[in-house]
Every structure is written in structure tokens, then in C-alpha cells.
């Protein structure tokens, strides 16, 4: 028994066992004849083993006693329904109780209660076979002692059949149990992977927010400085109380701008720490980063009711790169392409390099939109946009500006071309030095694996 508190769910599972184990014992076969003809082989004991492993918070003997009483009463009820007298039904089915009680007795030993079942799977299998054999022998002995009051000989052939039945039933239910646990493990892993992808996308989006917040900080600093200069001029030129009141009001506004700037600085510091101080797990191979980005952007395209097909050509042998920084750039470029496509188009993503010359070359090409040649030089200008939402409101015009800023910060280049008809192509050339995992983190990961 574990030291964990018995929960309401445990009691519900116990109730389910009380119902299911007697029912599972009804599809049966009788391997013996004579005085032992009532001994049955059914699915009752494999199902009981499953519950015995599951209900680890209950004492094993308690679980065995409950199952034995449930089976005994259920079979007595069936016999009485078909006309058997109560004393006869009781005498006939008392041995059923001993079977489940003896079975649970073997699993109540301390060495099978202190460890996790995953650490001793083969031990449980072997012990279940032994428990099955002794429980069957105990039931046969009870039949012989209670029901018939005569000594029926127990042969080696009967023991051999019991051993074979025990092996088959034990491994059947254990295989089912561990396959079920494997399925649960895979489901939990899938949920964790989905949650990690969501967090990765979220943090990647923070890079753009940090960039905009930095610009906002600079604007707040300039406004504060300008307001203070206006206050100084008004204060020096003031000749009446009204002039001084206006100067003081400008000073108050300057103070409020200063408070806003301080609040933004605290937010900026927290976001910057989140985006810059990353762990080893935050470096992923480019093909995984692109797969995550495509998965997210497909949802975005569907939300805009656009039919867009993605084609990816990224080698799987490239070294891990900074996932959040690269994902932020790719997300902005791909989202910009999706927004520019009217109703239907394709987006092709190609990544090469990253090993020999230390340069990563990324090409994102989309069909379904174009940029006039006269506008190509202006697309990276802050605030410039050609996209409007359904209400006619213009986009912020920050996305491409942010991408250009991040690319140049990394020491790379970005160019945009268009055929003026139906295709737009973006070329990125990035040095891998600032995207690669730092050497000290690689060494740390290597030593940890060892």
C-alpha cells in the first residue's frame, strides 16, 4: 500500500472492480472433471490483477477480500435465481472467495509494495504466475474440504495445466496493462510537446514586442525631455500667475511622461531577460523550427479564410539554432506573406547552409501577391504598409521594419524582390555565430548526457 491518501476516484475504481470482476468471470471453461468440475478458468483473475495493480492505495488484502466476496455473492445470486437453495449455493461458492484472497496475499508482501510497477514488470509477471497457481490450488483445496468432504487426488498433470493457464492469463493482462500505460505516456508526451510549441511561439512573438517597446521607451524619453524644455522656456518667460500655472502644468505632464517611461523600463527589463537569458532547450534544428512555424501559420491562414499551401525544403542535418530569434523572424515574414495573399497562393520556404561557411541562407517565396517595383525600397520604412483589415484600418507597418532590424543586429542582410505580377521573394543571409548554441552550453549538455 502506498502512503498516498485514498481519493474519491480510488473508491470509484473499487466500485467498478466490484461490478466488472464478477461479470468477467462468467465467460468460462472447466479444465477438470470429477469433484473439481466446478473449478473454472475465466477472465475474472486477469481483470482482478489489473485492478490489483491499479488500486495501489488500498491494502492488497482488502482489495482481494472485496473482490472475493463480490464474486461469491454474485455467483450465489445467479444460482439462487435458477432455483438453487441458499445453503447449497453458499457451500459451492465459498472457495471462490479463497481464490481471490490468496491471490491478493502474494501481492501484499512488502517487496512488491515499495517499488513502482514499471521498475519490476518482470517481477510482477513472475509473481502473478505464482499467485495464480497457489490461488488455484487453494480454491481446489477449499472445494475438496468444504463441498465434497472427500480426498480427490491432485496430480502433476493438473498442476501442469494450472501453470500453463496461469502463464497465459498473466501475460495477457500485463501486456494489455503496459500497452495502455504506453498509450498514456505517448498522450502525455504529445500534450507536453504541444504546450512547449505554444510557449515557443509565444516567446518568439515577444521579440517583436520588445522591439516596439524599446522604440516606445525612446519616444517617452524624447517627450519627457521636450516637455521639460518647454517648461523651462515658459518658466523663464512667465510674467503673470497664469503663465506660471501653465508652466507648472507642462511640468506635471513631463512628470507623468517620466512615470510612464519608468513603468515601461521595468516591463522592458523583464521581457529582455525573458528573451535573452534562454536555456539549452531553446535551441532547435532549423527543420523543427520551420515545422513549428508552418503549423502555426496554417492556423492563421485558415482564420483569414485563405487557401494557402506550404512547401518546405529544409535539410535535417543542420545544427541547432536559437529557436525564438529565428522563429520570430520567420513568423513575421510568413505572416506578412499570408496577409498580402488575397485568397489563394503558395508559400515556399528553403533553408541552406549553416555549416561550412557559417552562413544561413533563407528564402521565402509566395505566390498570390506582388509588390510594385517603385514600392520595394519603401517596404522596410517604419510605419509603411500596403495592408488594411476588413474595416479599412491600416496595419502597423512594424513587421518588416522589425525583421530588418533583427537581421542587421545579427550581422545579416535581407532583400525583397517581386516579379510585379504574382510572386514575392524574400532572401535572408544570416551569420550562424549568434544563432548557434554557445560552446559552453554544448559542453554542459555533453557532460550532463555522460
Q: With b meaning 16 or more CB within 10 Å and e meaning fewer, what string describes 242-254?
A: eeeebbeebbebb
Q: Which residues contact 90 (CB under 8 A, 6 or more apart)?
A: 76
Whether domain 282-440 has CATH 3.30.565.10: the reply is yes
The string of DSSP letters for 173-227 reads HHHHHHHHHHHHHHHHHHHHHHHHHHHHHHHHHHHHHHHHHHHHHHHHHHHHHHH
Question: Do the Cβ atoms of 110 and 1 come closer than 8 Å?
Answer: no
Task: Kindly calculate the radius of gyration of the chain based on its CA atoms and give it in whole angstroms.
Answer: 37
Match 507642462 to its residue by C-alpha cell: 250
CB-CB neighbours of 75 under 10 Å: 18
What are the C-alpha distances in Å from 71 to residues 107, 148, 381?
19, 21, 80
Whether domain 8-154 has CATH 3.40.50: the reply is no
State the Cα–Cα distance between residues 59 and 108, nearest whole angstrom. Answer: 7
52 by DSSP, 3-state: which? Answer: helix
Which contacts (CB < 8 Å, 24+ apart) does range 438-445 have? 441/280, 441/283, 444/280, 445/280
309 by DSSP, 3-state: which? Answer: strand
Model pLDDT, residue 264: 80
Model pLDDT, residue 385: 67
State the Cα–Cα distance between residues 329 and 341, nearest whole angstrom. Answer: 19
The pair phi, psi for residue 392, each rounded to 5°, is: 90, 5
Model pLDDT, residue 414: 92
Entry pTM? 0.48
Match 488484502 to its residue by C-alpha cell: 61
Model pLDDT, residue 364: 94
- pLDDT 10s digit of each residue in the chain, 450 long? 555 678 888 888 889 888 888 888 776 665 555 444 455 556 677 778 778 777 878 888 888 889 889 988 988 888 888 888 888 888 777 888 888 888 888 777 655 545 555 556 666 767 777 777 777 777 777 766 665 545 555 566 666 777 777 777 667 666 766 776 777 788 888 888 788 777 776 766 676 677 667 767 777 887 888 888 888 888 888 888 888 888 888 888 888 887 888 888 888 777 777 666 554 356 788 888 898 888 888 888 998 899 999 999 998 888 888 877 788 889 889 988 998 898 899 999 999 886 666 788 999 999 998 888 888 878 887 766 665 555 544 455 567 888 888 898 888 999 999 988 889 999 999 988 878 776 554 443 434 444
Identify which of 159, 195, 170 has the alpha carbon closest to the alpha carbon of residue 43: 170
Q: With b meaning 16 or more CB within 10 Å and e meaning fewer, what string describes 183-202?
A: eeeeeeeeeeeeeebeebbe
Amino acid at each position: 500500500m502506498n502512503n498516498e491518501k485514498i481519493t474519491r476516484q480510488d473508491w470509484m475504481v473499487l466500485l467498478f472492480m466490484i461490478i466488472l470482476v464478477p461479470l468477467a468471470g462468467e465467460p468460462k471453461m472447466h479444465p477438470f472433471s470429477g469433484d473439481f468440475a466446478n473449478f473454472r478458468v475465466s477472465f475474472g483473475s486477469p481483470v482482478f490483477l489489473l485492478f490489483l495493480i491499479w488500486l495501489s492505495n488500498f491494502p492488497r488484502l482488502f482489495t482481494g477480500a472485496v473482490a472475493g466476496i463480490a464474486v461469491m455473492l454474485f455467483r450465489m445470486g445467479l444460482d439462487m435465481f435458477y432455483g438453487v437453495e441458499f445453503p447449497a449455493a453458499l457451500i459451492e461458492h465459498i472457495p471462490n472467495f479463497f481464490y481471490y484472497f490468496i491471490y491478493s496475499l502474494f501481492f501484499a508482501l512488502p517487496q512488491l509494495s515499495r517499488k513502482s510497477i514499471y521498475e519490476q514488470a518482470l517481477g510482477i509477471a513472475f509473481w502473478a504466475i505464482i499467485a495464480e497457481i497457489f490461488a488455484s490450488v487453494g480454491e481446489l483445496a477449499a472445494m475438496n474440504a468444504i463441498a465434497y468432504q472427500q480426498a480427490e487426488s491432485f496430480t502433476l498433470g493438473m498442476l501442469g495445466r494450472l501453470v500453463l493457464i496461469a502463464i497465459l492469463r498473466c501475460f495477457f493482462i500485463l501486456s494489455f496493462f503496459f500497452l495502455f500505460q504506453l498509450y498514456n505516456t505517448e498522450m502525455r508526451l504529445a500534450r507536453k510537446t504541444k504546450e512547449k510549441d505554444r510557449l515557443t511561439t509565444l516567446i518568439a512573438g515577444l521579440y517583436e514586442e520588445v522591439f516596439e517597446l524599446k522604440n516606445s521607451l525612446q519616444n517617452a524619453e524624447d517627450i519627457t525631455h521636450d516637455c521639460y524644455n518647454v517648461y523651462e522656456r515658459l518658466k523663464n518667460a512667465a510674467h503673470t500667475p497664469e503663465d506660471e500655472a501653465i508652466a507648472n502644468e507642462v511640468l506635471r505632464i513631463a512628470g507623468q511622461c517620466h512615470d510612464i517611461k519608468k513603468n515601461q523600463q521595468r516591463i522592458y527589463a523583464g521581457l529582455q531577460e525573458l528573451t535573452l537569458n534562454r536555456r539549452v532547450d531553446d535551441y532547435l534544428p532549423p527543420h523543427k523550427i520551420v515545422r513549428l512555424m508552418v503549423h502555426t501559420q496554417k492556423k492563421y491562414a485558415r482564420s483569414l479564410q485563405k487557401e494557402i499551401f506550404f512547401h518546405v525544403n529544409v535539410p535535417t542535418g543542420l545544427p541547432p539554432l536559437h529557436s525564438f530569434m529565428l522563429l520570430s523572424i520567420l513568423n513575421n515574414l510568413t505572416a506578412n506573406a499570408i496577409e498580402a495573399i488575397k485568397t489563394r497562393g503558395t508559400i515556399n520556404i528553403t533553408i541552406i547552409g549553416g555549416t561550412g561557411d557559417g552562413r544561413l541562407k533563407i528564402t521565402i517565396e509566395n505566390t498570390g501577391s506582388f509588390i510594385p517595383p517603385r514600392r520595394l525600397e519603401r517596404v522596410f520604412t517604419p510605419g509603411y504598409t500596403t495592408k488594411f483589415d476588413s474595416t479599412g484600418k491600416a496595419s502597423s507597418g512594424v513587421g518588416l521594419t522589425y525583421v530588418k532590424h533583427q537581421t542587421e543586429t545579427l550581422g545579416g542582410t535581407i532583400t525583397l524582390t517581386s516579379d510585379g505580377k504574382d510572386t514575392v521573394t524574400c532572401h535572408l543571409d544570416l551569420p550562424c555565430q549568434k544563432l548557434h548554441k554557445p560552446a559552453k552550453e554544448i559542453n554542459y549538455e555533453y557532460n550532463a548526457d555522460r
